[in-house]
Amino acid sequence: MTSGTRRTGLEKIMKTVLLISALASVLIVLLIFVFTLKEAMPAFREIGVWKMLSGTTWRPGNGEFGILAMIAGSGLVTLGAIIIGVPLALGTAVFLSEIAPEWIVRVVRPSIELLAGIPSVVYGLFGMVIIVPLVRMIPAPGNAGFGLLSASIVLAVMVLPTIANISEFAIRSVPRGYKEGSLALGATKWETISRVMIPAARPGIISAVVLGLGRALGETIAMIMVIGNSVILPTAMTDNPLSIFLSRARTLTGNIAVEISYATGVHESALFATGVVLFILIMLVNSSARFLLKKGAQ
Amino acid sequence: MNKRMLTQNAAFGMFWLAGIVAVLIMAFVVGYIFVKGFPGISLDFFTTSPRGGLSGDGGIYSTVVTTFYMIVVTLTFATPLGVGAAIYLTEYSANTENKVVRKLVTVARFGVETLAGVPSIVFGLFGYALFVSALNFGFSILSASLAGACLIIPVIIRTTEEALKSVPSGYREGSLALGANRWETTWKVVLPAAFRGISTGILLSAGRIVSETAIFFVTLGGSYRVPHSLMSGGRTMALHVYYLAMETRAFDKAMSTAAVLVGLIIVMNLTINMITSKIAAK
């Protein structure tokens, strides 16, 4: 009987221990949010939330802490990455799920897996030695190669696996009957893909793109290495408005990473405030992706 | 050939192109790093430490050691928590009628999903504020691996959950019918059966630690000396690539270190795929 109670005792203890580990993630999230917010409070109080968000100059030495330039930098580089990366990623997803013969899938899928596994610092290095010199060849005054375009290209490759994998899964989850029905009605394979399969998988595909967007906003090291890191509100450098992408910029993530090691006082607090803005931005993006996925599942 | 088939061929051509471009990008990035990196790799490169200074002299010995320590210490923190959470979520809370437990599970799942989306620099910022500064651990392996654990806990939870779910329910029913309780069933029957799946998750997490740079950039300090305790600072191979490229501008050494890094990731991926296909074959 005593061994019986010991066994039940262990069972009870383990149940509690396991429940605590299950709740650890929530605790960590709360801890991160509370801690970052607490450290950011002095900046929010002394500078003002709105003044930080709308300020275009970041001069810690002068007590100026506007992060609008960084918000614009993060936004533009993400936009660029989506414009370049999404067609390629979706094309790959459709190719893998509907068109490629089995043996080709066995080549392409591990390639994409490997792209996902390559460390971001390696992408940054690759960007510095290959992409930046290429971009530098575009004739425009003040074009140094380091800037939004180089960063967007690097980032497009980095988000490709995320978007391609989730979209492929979404297309594969469309019930077989849809496809068979469409083909039986005399539609060609392409008509079936474009008018039946892709529309049916749309919520999944959109959430794939949104998740890629979240990943892009959060990227740090590769961005520091190729974007130039100047705190300026990006503007077009020639008559062509697209030349805005040749501008140097700094991302929210880069702002934190570059300055945190030597910042003190309000400056340090302002960097935590940058972190809070980034955290909230990414939470919004990710929860909208989750919302879309759930809506798609219904 | 009619117009509809022509459209189809044009469209399919574009999709083939997309697939081929994706493979070519991978081949070009990996190929370039290997071709530029391999000439600088020798036995000396692995056995000597960076000498510091602006020329980027020396090898990568101390960064290999630091990377190894980081993997071991981070996994020590994250594995019990991650596997424990996954056990609770799949073995203990499935089919429960208890409303409180259900609520807790919803909250726990929300936590895991949110944690998985947190950008690594925010983990770094948090680790810097809490472990480096507030708890006074300084720039150290301890601070960096505690922050790094936050990054991989969701990875371990997800992969372990998958592994546990793939264990046939007959195993559990058999064990429970023989009088074993839930924990005994989990510990002696379910976990051994899910071992391979769980180990791929742990390997995947090790890969994430090898690749991670942003968190360690703000918590590990960047010293190029060989670490001698948990409180030592250091730099992982990935961090070393960053410093070589951005501060020393020693691109040759950076390429060689990157080649080692990519080689390691490829070996890890292959191992994971091997284990996974063995599971599938069973």
Residue of B121, B122, B154 with shortest CB distance to A25: B154
Asked whether the beta carbons of residue B117 and residue A282 sit closer than 8 angstroms, the reply is yes
Q: Which contiguous run of DSSP H or E holds residue B282? A: none
Q: Do B129 and A36 touch (CB under 8 A)?
A: yes
Segment A110-134, tens digit of pLDDT: 999 999 999 999 999 999 999 999 9
Residue A32 above 50 pLDDT? yes
Does B117 contact A at CB distance below 8 Å? yes
Q: Rounded to a whole number, what is the distance in Å from the CA of B97 to chain A's nearest CA?
A: 16
Please state, rounded to an integer, the average pLDDT across all residues of chain A: 90
CB contact under 8 Å between A117 and B211, yes or no, is yes
In chain B, where the domains are located: 65-230
Give CA separation, B205 vs A118, B121, B156, B200, in Å.
Answer: 14, 17, 7, 9
Q: How far apart are CA A221 and CA A253, in angstroms?
A: 8
State whether B255 and A114 contact (CB < 8 Å).
Answer: no
Average pLDDT value over all residues in chain B: 90
Residue A51 CA to residue A67 CA, distance in Å, equals: 9
Does residue A188 carry a pLDDT above 70?
Answer: yes
- Nearest CA to B125 out of A121, A118, A270 is that of A270
| Min Cα–Cα distance to chain B from A114, Å | 7
Could you tell me which chain B residue has the CA closest to the CA of A225?
A: B246
Instruction: Look up the ipTM and state it.
Output: 0.92
CB burial string B261-272: b at 16+ within 10 A, e below: bbbbbbebbeeb
Task: Pick the residue from chain A with its C-alpha nearest to B255.
Answer: A125
From the list B214, B238, B266, which residue is nearest A114 (CB)?
Answer: B266
Q: What is the CATH number of domain B65-230?
A: 1.10.3720.10
Residue B56 has pLDDT above 90, yes or no: no
Cβ–Cβ gap B121/A19 under 8 Å: no
Evaluate the CA torsion angle B40, B45, B49, B51 in order and state its sign: negative
The 10s digit of each residue's pLDDT in B8-38 is 888 899 999 999 999 999 999 999 999 999 9
Q: Which residues on neighbouring strands pair with residue B163, listed in sequence order? A: none
Our CA-based measurement puts residue B136 at a distance from the nearest CA of chain A, in whole angstroms, of 15
pLDDT at B250: 87
**Structure confidence at residue B124 (pLDDT):** 94
Classify residue B44 as exposed, middle or buried by CB count within 10 Å of its CB (0-12, 13-18, 19+). exposed
| Contact call for B29 and A88, based on CB within 8 A | no
Q: How many CB pairs under 8 A join A and B?
A: 269
Name the residue facing A25 among B85, B122, B258 (closest C-beta): B85
B157, A94: Cβ pair inside 8 Å?
no
pLDDT tens-digit profile of A66-106? 999 999 999 999 999 999 999 999 999 999 999 999 999 99
Residue the block writes with tokens 């009619």: B2
* Domains along the sequence of chain A with CATH: 49-297 (1.10.3720.10)
| Nearest Cα residue to A69 out of A81, A80, A58 | A58
Is pLDDT above 90 for A144? no
CA distances from A137 to A130, A141, A145 (A): 12, 11, 8
What is the pLDDT averaged over residues B160-179?
91
Specify the 3-state DSSP secondary structure of A173: coil
